[in-house]
Amino acid sequence: MRKIVLLGYMGCGKSTIANRLSKTTNIPFVDLDKIIEEKTNLTINQIFEQQGEIYFRKLEHDVFVELLNSPENLIIGLGGGTPCYANNHELLKGDNVLSIYLKASIETLFDRLVVNKDKRPLIANKNEEEMKEFIAKHLFDRSFYYNHAQHKVVVDKKTVDETVADILDILA
């Protein structure tokens, strides 16, 4: 069964867009971070604090594989780091997988993350100056993995509905 996989940097809108796309298409949406939180009964912040990032990355890989192998059609919203660890980027081109990179500029990411950083352990403790520099470097490093997606949708200056419309064009 087909899996629509949304990927991209923290704050690009994976969870928001996947949710709206799910309502429009009636294909169920699962958010990788949410499943991990439910399975562990811990928040993403608590997992990073108590078990460390390596533990999180292992769990993230296992849950991603499990979802890809599940028998139903699904929209899967990845975490920002998912494609960048455990060779997960190779799964973006698998059979029955349609992967879409939601591409956002550093400015868009900064604007969305600055008001929304507390639940994201990688940036939670950074000030605005540090955040800007971190996003710029980190996005550069990660782009290699994000570019393994089959499709790319630029999200800058688009409403949620406009981005969803671009994705529907790809699905058509």
Ligand X SMILES: Nc1ncnc2c1ncn2[C@@H]1O[C@H](COP(=O)(O)OP(=O)(O)O)[C@@H](O)[C@H]1O
Ligand Y SMILES: O=C(O)C1=C[C@@H](OP(=O)(O)O)[C@@H](O)[C@H](O)C1
State the binding site for substrate.
33, 57, 80, 142
Name all contacts of 139-143 with Cβ < 8 Å and 24+ positions apart: 139/9, 139/106, 139/109, 141/84, 142/9, 142/80, 142/81, 142/83, 142/84
Tokens of 124: 């939670």
Query: x/- string (CB under 5 A) for Mg ion, residues 15-54?
Result: x---------------------------------------
135: contact with ligand X by CB under 6 A: no
158: contact with ligand X by CB under 6 A: yes
Q: What is the spatial distance between Cα 84 and Cα 128, in angstroms, rounded to a whole number? A: 25
Q: Which is nearer to ligand X, 1 or 165 (CB)?
A: 165
Q: Which is nearer to ligand Y, 1 or 140 (CB)?
A: 140
Can you list the positions of beta strands (E) in 12-124? 29-31, 74-77, 97-103
82: contact with ligand X by CB under 6 A: no
60-119: contacts with ligand Y (CB under 6 A): 79-81
Q: Which is nearer to ligand X, 13 or 83 (CB)?
A: 13
92-121: contacts with ligand X (CB under 6 A): 112, 116
The residue type at 94:
G
Q: What is the spatial distance between Cα 151 and Cα 170, in angstroms, rounded to a whole number? A: 8
**Which spans of this chain sit near ligand X (rule: CB under 6 A)?**
8, 10-17, 80, 112, 116, 155, 158-160, 163
